[in-house]
């Protein structure tokens, strides 16, 4: 496990219902996300189409200028259709409450969330704070107002990615 040093140091408090569970950790040296575990006292059965707010049993203190991004685990999504509903969920640097994960079962079979199961991942990322300016008109661009797939298809280059 690689240590976080300097400005990305994150303080973690294990809550009473998270006792005995491992703290979030990177699965490999190249992992971008820390695995988050379910701190449920009893299993949660997620029927297809249902959602649940799943506690992790931890609270964190992120340094100013950083956020936590709660993301799905690819294996749970691919094998079971389980994903994070508000993905990525954002944990602000000034939030000190419990980290919880909104899971939704988009699969076709019920899914059982059990204590200690790795349910999501947490990516710690820098945040750029923007300064907004109200204007009457925006400067032009080659794209203009095109959106929602307006750049996704180019029939003149059939077979090549657009």
- Read off the pLDDT of residues 104-154 as tens digits, 9 standing for 90 and up: 999 999 999 999 999 999 999 999 999 999 999 999 998 888 788 777 665
Q: 11-126 belongs to which homologous superfamily?
A: Deoxyuridine triphosphatase (dUTPase) (2.70.40.10)
Residues 31 and 74: their CA atoms lie apart, in Å, by: 13
Report the pLDDT value the prediction gives residue 12, as an integer from 0 to 100: 97
Element (H, E) at 78: helix 74-80
CA 80 to chain centre: 17
Q: Residues annotated as binding site?
A: 73-75, 86, 90-92
Residues 99 and 30: their CA atoms lie apart, in Å, by: 23
Q: Residues annotated as binding site for substrate?
A: 73-75, 86, 90-92
Residue entry with tokens 């971008």 = 32
In the chain, domain spans = 11-126
Element (H, E) at 79: helix 74-80
Residues 101 and 105: their CA atoms lie apart, in Å, by: 13
| Structure confidence by residue, pLDDT tens digits, 65-116 | 999 999 999 999 999 999 999 999 999 999 999 999 999 999 999 999 999 9
Say what the pTM is: 0.82
């Amino acid at each position: 496990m690689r240590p976080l040093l300097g400005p990305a140091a994150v303080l973690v408090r294990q809550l009473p219902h998270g006792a005995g569970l491992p703290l979030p950790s990177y699965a490999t040296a190249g992992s971008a996300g820390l695995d988050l575990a379910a701190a449920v006292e009893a299993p949660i059965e997620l029927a297809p189409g249902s959602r649940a707010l799943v506690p992790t049993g931890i609270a964190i203190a992120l340094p100013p200028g950083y956020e936590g991004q709660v993301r799905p685990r690819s294996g749970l999504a691919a094998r079971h259709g389980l994903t994070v509903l508000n993905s990525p969920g954002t944990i602000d640097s000034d939030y000190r409450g419990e980290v919880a994960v909104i899971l939704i079962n988009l699969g076709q079979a019920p899914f059982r969330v059990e204590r200690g199961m790795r349910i999501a991942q947490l990516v710690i990322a820098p945040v750029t704070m923007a300064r907004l300016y109200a204007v009457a008109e925006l400067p032009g661009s080659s794209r203009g107002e095109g959106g929602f797939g307006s750049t996704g298809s180019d029939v003149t280059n059939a077979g090549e990615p657009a």
